Amino acid sequence: MDAVLIMVLAFVGYIVAYRLYGKFIGNKIFELSKKNVTPANEFEDGVDYVPTKKGIIFGHHFTSIAGTGPIVGPAIGVIWGWLPALIWVFVGSIVMGAVQDFSTLVMSLRSQGKSISEIASQYISKKIRFAFFLIVFIELWLFLAILGMIMAVIFHMYPEAVFPVWMEIPIAITLGYAVYKKSKNVTISTVIAVVAMYVTVVLGHVIPLDMPSLGSMPATGVWTIILFIYAFIASTLPVTTLLQPRDYINAWELFIAMGLLIIGVFVSSFNGLTLVAPTVQVNPEGAPSLWPFLFITIACGAISGFHAVVASGTTSKQVDQEPDAVFVGYGSMLMEGALAVLVIVATTAGIGLAARGDASTLSGVARWSEHYSSWSAASGLGSKVVAFVEGSANMISYLGVPQYLGLIIMGVFVASFAGTSLDTTTRLQRYVIQELLGANRVGAAEDKSFFTNKYGATLLALLTAGLLAFSTGVDGKGALTLWPLFGANNQTLAALALFTASVYLKRRGGRKYLVSLIPAVFMLVMTLWALVVNELTYIKGSSFLLGLVNLIIIVIVVIVSIESIKAIFVSKEEKLA
């Protein structure tokens, strides 16, 4: 099938799905109402609870859930062929991922902005509160360690991206100050900020910043430490100081990058762009089986439990009106699906297209095979990033964008999204620690103990993530070691979030709960299957730490699943908000 046709059909399908299924779930299933007071208005404190325009909170939510997930996952998953990856991304995001994101956001909006763990204990069983918190903690613990290493590796691979990524911080702070403190025009301020950001992208080519090693510590290790220090500072600032404006800028960076890619697909299609990956490849050399691992490898872009944590963590504390949840929750997931489709095109077609004017490198099937000849060739973090960055740069080179500039633009794009997720994930882990240790309300002034105030909880979150990162190796291979475990845990959380939504909807009466229960059962089967296979692999490979964590996840899944199923069958209709 033609790459252009794939892209167009997928995008049209997403628009139709939003207009029909998204609005149906919002209006008919959850019955959203402007009369319901949101936590942002009820607990407004100018730090975490801030009523925000839906366009801005869309930018925050989307950039927070996206990160590197919809890039890395599909870039690995295409090893089984472009068709299975495309079907899972398209169908999964519409009937599973977007439903999970939206339903979790609405439940949190109607539960004073509480986390998915607290919501599950409220609607399923109080007995599972600690178990659910533990699985969320493991999710964020793994993701924090992975994000720090991913950004470190990207900086090491693309030193030209370092200056632009760090310059986004003062640009974002200035934008937030202009809009929130000085009430400047949002449109004009946005244009100035985005132009300034792309000026730094051009300057990045002139001043690449290579990090030297520190003694026996590689450059990636040094970057990991610096990035965790940044995360501590950024995640303890008020959301309007850095988090919101930076996510907002990154949303525009995404729109521009996606726009370049979309036009690049059209233009390069007249210059030899064609799919060079196989349609289906059931048994790639050294790869696990397509079932169930496709559904674990490609998470973000189809469905991701991390999204439930974001939706019920930072986002629910900033939504101004309940009906905004359709645009923010459901719409953001479809946008992420669209990004994943572009990643699939870049890694299955763009990677085989020689850059304009460059005949010195491999192209066509030979170029794709260089990255995907075996599981080990495709699974390297550098290879995954290169496949997307180079494939994208190849396509936009036919728009007149020099190859070197295209590589910087896409490198900055990947690093920026990892940076926003690093900030948000740290903040979310702080919320989890505070709630788990009994803070009355996240960020409340009366919380005096060390690990229930934001500084102590944030420090604990980063220290534990740092220990994990360094224990598995900060040369970048540690992130790869943790990815399969993170993927299985992530999709497990997605299944449990959908079960929680099912119990909530069952109590509202009728058969509305089927919109979340059917996806929940599918994800539960896939994740338990993958977890068991992973456990056998860890035992065989003597991976004690990963095997122990994986076993804990299996036990939690079984406990929460049993309680969820019991709650669904015994739930009676109630008058819920």
* Residue 476 in this model has a pLDDT that exceeds 60: no
Percentage, residues of the chain above pLDDT 70: 92
Pairwise pLDDT comparison (2 vs 323), residue with the higher score = 323
DSSP string, 501-566: HHHHHHHH-TTTTHHHHHHHHHHHHHHHHHHHHHHHHHHHTT-HHHHHHHHHHHHHHHHHHHHHHH
Q: Say what the pLDDT of residue 361 is.
A: 61
- Report the chain's mean pLDDT, rounded to a whole number: 86
Cis peptide before 159 (omega within 30 of 0): no
Mean pLDDT value across residues 447-459: 79
Q: What is the pLDDT of residues 483-506, one digit of tens each?
A: 778 888 889 899 989 999 999 999
Residues 6+ apart with CB under 8 A from 540: none
DSSP per residue over 310-360, as a string?
Answer: HHTTTGGGTBSSTTHHIIIIIHHHHHHHHHHHHHHHHHHTGGGSPPTT--S
Q: Out of 264-273, 458-467, 478-487, pick the least confident.
A: 478-487
DSSP code for 216: T
Q: Residue 447 corresponds to which tokens in the numbers above?
A: 């919380």
Greatest extent of the chain over all pairs of C-alpha atoms, in Å: 68
pLDDT at 479: 59
Coil, strand or helix at 105: helix
Q: Quote the pLDDT of residue 22.
A: 95
What pLDDT band is residue 417 in, cutting at 50, 70 and 90?
confident
**What's the gap between Cα 54 and its chain centre?**
19
Q: What is the CATH number of domain 3-570?
A: 1.20.1740.10
When mean pLDDT is compared across 39-43, 313-317, 362-366, 369-373, the lowest value belongs to: 362-366
Residue 445's pLDDT band, with cuts at 50, 70 and 90, is very low
| pLDDT tier at 203, thresholds 50, 70, 90 | very high
pLDDT at 377 over 70: no
Angle, helix 243-268 to helix 331-348, in steps of 10 degrees:
40
Q: Which residue has the tokens 């991304």?
A: 89
Nearest alpha carbon to residue 146 among 472, 375, 410: 472
Q: Spell out the domain ranges in the chain.
A: 3-570
Residue 470, burial from CB neighbour count under 10 angstroms (0-12, 13-18, 19+) = middle
Q: What's the pLDDT at 439?
A: 58
User: Which are the contacts of 327, defined by CB distance < 8 A and separation ≥ 6?
Assistant: 54, 58
**Predicted local distance difference test score (pLDDT) of residue 380:** 60
Reported as a single tens digit per residue, the pLDDT across 282-320 is 888 878 889 999 999 898 899 999 899 889 988 999 999
* Number of CB atoms found within 10 A of residue 208's CB: 13
pLDDT category at 381 given cuts 50, 70, 90 is low
Per-range mean pLDDT, top range of 85-94, 135-144, 378-387, 496-505: 85-94
Task: Name the 3-class secondary structure at 38.
Answer: coil
Does pTM top 0.75 for this prediction? yes
Q: What is the pLDDT of residue 40?
A: 92
pLDDT at 403: 84
Question: pLDDT for 532-566, tens place per residue?
Answer: 998 998 888 777 878 888 899 899 888 888 888 88
**Backbone φ/ψ region at 129: left (φ over 0), alpha (ψ -120 to 50), beta:** alpha
pLDDT of 352 higher than 90: no
Q: So what's the pLDDT on residue 142?
A: 87
pLDDT winner (highest mean) among 142-151, 159-168, 233-242, 435-444? 159-168
For residue 181, pLDDT beyond 70: yes
Nearest Cα to 528, choosing from 562, 497, 491, 501? 491
> In this predicted model, what pLDDT tens digit does every residue of 255-290 receive, in sequence order?
898 899 999 999 998 888 889 999 999 888 878 889
Residue 12: per-residue pLDDT: 97
